[in-house]
Amino acid sequence: MPRQRHGSEPKPAGQELVIPALAVGFTAYYFWTVQELAWEAKANGVVIGAILLVLVALLLLRMGLQLARGDVSLRATLGGDRATDRLRLGLLGLCAAFIVVLPLLGTVISLALVLFAAMWLLGARHWPSLIGVSLVTPLLVWATLIVGIGTRFPLGPFEHAMAALLGLPGLD
């Protein structure tokens, strides 16, 4: 049974293992992909991977000692409340949805929709600002990045209509 310092709850430290777990998992995968390659192809990864594994082992050792002293527990928390975490997941979901609809609706319409939905999700209810930001930002992106710089963003009904209307080369 770990000893617990009287008067204080052990600090949750499970979250501190996520990055090392990712690092170790990735290193193992890297070693697996290079096992049959020539030494020149794997030297770099092996040197870095070995150092990384030693560092993670040291972290685990330190955490093990803290656990034994009862200073920390393996409970994981990122410090946010549930409502904010839900908002975070909602925003990430909206970003993922944006990437999915981008080839179908084009950059301007997708961006306008995602901006409006994200601001609404975060509690913005001032209609002029909501509509203004959702319309002006995609139009600026269209004018600077698509028309001005010529980045080949996915085009949709808006971009095609504007290209036909204004006779923009390469966009219709």
Partner 1 sequence: MELDLATLAELFGRSFSLWWAILPGIALGLVVGVLPGFSPQNTLIILLPVTLAMDTEAALAFMISLYCANHLSGGIPAILVNIPGSGGAAATCIDGYQMTKKGQAQQALVLSFVASVAGGLITSVAVLALLPFLAQLGLVLRSVEMVVIILFGLTLIAVLAAKDMLKGLIGGMFGLMLGAIGTDTVYSTPRATFGFLELYDGLPLVPVLIGLFAISEALVMLEERFTGTPPAQSRAAQWKDTVEGLWMCVKYWWQITWTAFLGLVVGVIPGAGAYIASFVAYQQSRLFSKTPELYGTGHPPGVIAPESANNGVTSGTLVPTMAIGVPGGSTAAVMMIVLQYQGITVGPRLFQESPAIAYGVFVMMTVAYIFMIPMVMPLARYASRVVTVPVHYIVPLILALTVVGAFADREYVFDMVLALVFGVIGYIAVKSNYHVTSILIGVLLGPIFERYLLRSLRIGQGDIMVLFSSPIANVLWALLVISVVLPIWRERRLARTAA
Nearest distance, CB of residue 48 and partner 1, angstroms? 5
The tokens describing 153, both together, are: 């963003």
| Segment interacting with partner 1, rule: CB under 8 A, options 2-10, 65-73, 119-127, 158-166 | 119-127
Residue 70 as a binder of partner 1 (CB under 8 A): the answer is no
Provide the token pair at 92.
């990430």
End-to-end alpha carbon distance in the chain: 71
Residues 19-48 as x/- pattern, contact with partner 1 by CB under 8 A:
xx-xx--xx-xx--xx--xxxxxxxxx-xx
* Residue 109 interacts with partner 1 (CB under 8 A): yes or no: no
User: Where does 73-150 have alpha helices with state H?
Assistant: 82-105, 107-121, 127-141
What is d(CA 134, CA 111) in angstroms, rounded to the nearest whole number? 8
Residue written as tokens 């594994």?
53
Question: Does the protein bind partner 1 through residue 152 (CB under 8 A)?
Answer: yes
How far from 56 is each of 27, 63, 93, CA to CA, in Å?
A: 11, 10, 32
Closest to 60 in 3D by CA, of 23, 32, 96: 23
Write out the residues near partner 1 by the rule CB under 8 A. Answer: 15-16, 18-20, 22-23, 26-27, 29-30, 33-34, 37-45, 47-49, 51-52, 55-56, 58-59, 62, 78-80, 84, 87-88, 91-92, 95-96, 98-99, 102-103, 107, 111, 114-115, 118-119, 122-124, 129, 133, 137, 141, 144-145, 149, 151-154
